[in-house]
């Protein structure tokens, strides 16, 4: 199926579900994402400063779910990059799991600074942060053993940097290149761990993953009321590996 057709299949929800999604977004945006004061919280064994406009790991359960999964892995000696780091909780979790080096990327400069502060706060000096739109700030030849990403769950134009944690642009515009870029950044035996919601356009994501030459399997799932979260493990398919 052409990419345009997959994108157009997005947001096929009942009217009640659409209203519910909009209400949750508005409440999250006005009371959490755009709050005026920084807060300090503890999630998944980490002390975190969370400034305004940065995705808050205390109020959004996906952060703790993904963080605990990463902390359960053996990442000893691995090089790790996170795309869209927010507070840095996932990058810090990879460091706690033994990663040799972790690079936390985000397009929101407040998130980049938060990840830097939280690395120092938790004495995880192997975590560095960098302002970047996906992988754009990195040399094209730099590769990693592990890539982490919890992308925005919804299509739609973001209102501002804070809303980029929720909306990825019309038709998921802002993250369409993610999987092609990730496939080129993975070492031969590398893994990408991706968290998606049951509200995500899964058909589009599956299309992008397959088009990038990545194999996919689900490694963990959690349901909460009307939504489920899935952690996917992506790796280079035999076809892509053979081309390298």
Name the pLDDT band for 32 (thresholds 50, 70, 90).
Answer: low
Q: What is the pTM of this model?
A: 0.90
Give me 135's structure tokens.
């992988």
Strand partners, 175: none
Lowest mean pLDDT among 61-65, 141-145, 222-226: 222-226
Match 């040399």 to its residue by tokens.
139
Max CA pair span of the chain: 51
Query: What digits encode the pLDDT tens for the residues 55-76?
Result: 989 888 899 999 999 999 999 9
Q: How far is residue 114's CA from residue 71's CA, in Å, rounded to a whole number?
A: 20
Query: What digits encode the pLDDT tens for the residues 205-219?
Result: 999 999 999 999 999
**pLDDT at site 229:** 94
Q: Is the pLDDT of residue 1 over 70?
A: no
* Mean confidence (pLDDT) of the chain: 89
Q: Is the pLDDT of residue 8 over 70?
A: no
Look at phi and psi of residue 169 and say left if phi exceeds 0, alpha if psi is from -120 to 50, else beta: left
Q: Which residues contact 115 (CB under 8 A, 6 or more apart)?
A: 85, 86, 87, 88, 91, 92, 104, 106, 127, 129
Q: How far apart are the first and last CA of the chain?
A: 27
Domains identified in the chain and CATH numbers: 3-243 (3.40.50.150)
Name the pLDDT band for 226 (thresholds 50, 70, 90).
Answer: confident
Name the pLDDT band for 94 (thresholds 50, 70, 90).
Answer: very high
Q: How far is residue 38's CA from residue 53's CA, in Å, rounded to a whole number?
A: 9
Strands (E), the chain: 39-43, 46-50, 79-83, 101-106, 127-131, 144-149, 186-197, 214-224, 227-236
Query: What digits encode the pLDDT tens for the residues 176-198?
Result: 999 999 999 999 999 999 999 98
Q: How far is residue 173's CA from residue 145's CA, in Å, rounded to a whole number?
A: 26
Lowest mean pLDDT among 4-13, 66-75, 85-94, 194-203: 4-13
Q: Which residue, 139, 153, 219, 220, is CA-closest to 181?
A: 139
Q: Is the pLDDT of residue 139 over 80?
A: yes
């Amino acid at each position: 199926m052409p990419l345009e057709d997959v994108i157009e299949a997005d947001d096929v929800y009942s009217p009640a579900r659409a209203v519910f999604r909009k209400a949750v977004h508005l409440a999250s945006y006005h009371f959490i994402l755009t709050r005026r004061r920084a807060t300090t919280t503890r999630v998944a064994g980490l002390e975190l400063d969370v400034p305004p406009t940065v995705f808050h790991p205390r109020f959004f359960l996906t952060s703790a779910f993904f963080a605990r999964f990463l902390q359960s892995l053996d990442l000893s000696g691995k090089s790790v990059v996170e795309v869209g780091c927010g507070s840095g909780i996932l990058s810090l979790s990879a460091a706690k799991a033994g990663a040799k080096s972790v690079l936390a990327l985000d397009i929101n400069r407040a998130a980049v600074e938060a990840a830097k502060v939280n690395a120092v706060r938790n004495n995880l000096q192997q975590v560095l942060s960098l302002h970047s739109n996906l992988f754009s700030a990195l040399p094209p030849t730099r590769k990693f053993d592990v890539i982490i990403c919890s992308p925005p769950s919804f299509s739609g134009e973001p209102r501002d940097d804070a809303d980029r944690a929720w909306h990825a642009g019309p038709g998921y515009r802002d993250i369409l290149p993610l999987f092609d870029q990730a496939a080129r950044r993975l070492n031969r035996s590398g893994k990408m761990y991706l968290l998606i919601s049951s509200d995500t356009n899964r058909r589009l994501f599956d299309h992008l993953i397959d088009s990038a030459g990545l194999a996919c399997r689900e490694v963990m799932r959690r349901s909460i009321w009307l939504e489920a979260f899935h952690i996917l493990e992506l790796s280079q398919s035999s076809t892509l590996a053979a081309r390298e």
